[in-house]
Chains A and B, each alone.
Chain A
Amino acid sequence: MKKGKSIKLDNREIEDLITLARLNLKDDEIESIKHDLLRILEYVENIKEVDISNVLPTFHPLNSHNIQRKDEAKEESLKMVEKLLKLVPKKFGRYVKFEKIL
């Protein structure tokens, strides 16, 4: 396989990426993150030389299959709900409270 062209990212693409990543980055940080990103992408370029035709991907190191359980409430789970609710910063009764989303 041909070696891919070295990656270039312009500021517009970096900004799109920041939006996708849902991160507020400070302006002075954008340059340094861009620099690091390009260095890593350059480092991983060598994977392009591997012949991967007819190879299936591995997403999980052991054979995995879906495991199901009965849909039933356990007392333990109900106690856990109380514990988890304690961690919520803003609440309205037993609801998580937040600003309007739509």
Chain B
Amino acid sequence: MNNEILTIERIRNGLLKKEFSALELTKHYLKKIEREDKKVMAFLTISEDLALEQAKKIDELIEKKEDLPPLAGVPCAIKDNILVEGIKCTAASKILENYIAPYDATAVKRLKESGAIILGKTNLDEFAMGSSTEYSAFFKTKNPLDLERVPGGSSGGSAAAVCANFAIFSLGSDTGGSIRQPAAFCGVVGLKPTYGTVSRYGLIAFASSLDQIGPLTKNINDCKIVFDIIKGKDEKDSTSVDLKDDFEPSNFDIKNVRIGLPKEFFINGINTKIESRIKEAIRFYEKMGAKIVEISLPHTRYALACYFLISRAEASSNLARYDGIRYGLSETSSSGLKNFWDYYCKIRGNGFGKEVRRRIMLGTFILSVGFYDAYYLRAAKIRTLMIKDFERAFNEVDFILTPTTPDLPFKIGEKEEDPLEMYLSDIFTVSANLVGLPALSFPVGKVDNFYASLQIMGKWFDEAKMFELAKLYERYYDDK
């Protein structure tokens, strides 16, 4: 079986025409992972029993000629900071090394109800803190396009799994670019939805005002299908909202579209080959009739700094829960420990990796007396100014286009010891998280062994329109 050409739609047709059964398909993927993931190392856990059981249920439905749910038999992978009941969920941290998820994340529950087959849990930077998956406490994932290079991060395992055809789609989480940057590095599609559209219930929190779950897929249509399933209000996440759904794809006319190119994003230092692919895509939209406008988002130059401060502050509070008392890493012998604080500090010192400790330290610093106003509060105010920048821009344009990353994937080890260099690879992606906007990354052309990816930022809740814009180029590119 050549699974490279499979999509959600083709799987559905294949199952209905009995070209293959869900069980055969699932076994095919499990075998492929067993054979080939030794090189890529995308998966932390394979949930074989769960996958086979789910597949059998789908085959029973087919046997009984019952209606098939929309993702029936579609094999997927889940980032290991999203809970799947009964399966280990580590967040790639020693502190959760043996933690078995007691319930399903809402996004996972919706996938299961839609018939998706969960093959396993994918590697990430510990607690999603990183841009290369090198900060996983267990092992480093490789980029399937070049095994010497990083797959990006933090959803590096999820991106690598889709790229290597170990799964039709995967779920990732995006706090500052953690879906879009690895999607770009691995040449796949990745969506960071509008903040609030996908429930965060069952997502291990990193920075709660920035985190969103989203899909990574091989094409735009699959991305849309998965997004439509996982989105929607959930009473278990009070920040989740219902998406207004009055947009008709057939009403989308590129001739009425205004596209903004923010001058602050088209800067020196972008890889010239990436830049020329991005400009080609923009020229395509212009030829199709879109109006291209240069815009300005003046506070962009503070975005990364604000992101550092806000995300670290939120992380240091969120990670206070890992105490070794109620779950997670624990010490059975408490000899030599004087009191509770001793125990708490020891568990956290031993259980968190270096990057996580670094972030907790910075977060603690900027929330401490004397620094809160100068750093955290100031960043929160600049965040307001950034939102105003985007509101102003969206009065003039419908979409904002930028490259997803300034450069191609770097070599494993190249930036590991230089955290600041590493952080700079998120320079184009963090704004969407701070402002809460939807942002879609998809490949628009080959560069050497890799791909240049375009990022579309849309108005809040405008995902459906963004998919239509992206599909236009995808169709053109596929035909080329």
Question: Residues of A with Cβ closer than 8 Å to B?
Answer: 4, 17-18, 20-26, 29, 33, 36-37, 39-41, 43-44, 46-48, 50, 52, 55-62, 64, 67, 69, 80, 83-84, 86-90, 96, 98-101
Contact = CB atoms under 8 A, between A and B. Distances in A.
Nearest to B363: A21
Main secondary structure of the interface of A (DSSP, over half): loop
10 contacts: A24-B346, A29-B357, A43-B304, A47-B375, A52-B382, A55-B381, A59-B380, A61-B436, A84-B327, A99-B334
A48 B239 CA distance: 31
B383 A23 contact: no
Interface stretch (B154-162, B220-228, B252-260, B335-343): B335-343
B16 interface: no
A57 B381 contact: yes
Contacts of A99: 334, 337, 339-340, 343
A64 to B, nearest CB: 6
B325 to A, nearest CB: 5
B292 interface: no
Contacts of A24: 345-346, 348-350
Given A44-B309, A87-B99, A39 B420 contact: yes
A57 B435 CA distance: 12
Contact of A84 (B102, B358, B377): B102
B299 to A, nearest CB: 7
A52 B378 contact: yes
Given A23-B357, A50-B299, A89-B332, A55 B385 contact: yes
Interface residues of B, number: 68
Interface in B239-259: 239, 241
- Give the one of A20, A44, A62 with max B CB within 10 A: A44
B324 A89 contact: yes
A23 B352 CA distance: 9
A30 to B, nearest CB: 10
Given A60-B239, A89-B330, 17 more contacts: A4-B374, A22-B345, A23-B349, A37-B362, A44-B309, A44-B375, A47-B378, A52-B378, A55-B381, A55-B385, A57-B384, A58-B380, A84-B326, A87-B326, A89-B327, A89-B332, A101-B339
B385 A21 contact: no
A40 B382 contact: no
A77 B196 CA distance: 24
Contacts of A18: 361
A76 B460 CA distance: 34
Contacts of B316: 21
B305 interface: yes
B196 A20 contact: no
A61 B251 CA distance: 29
Nearest to A81: B102
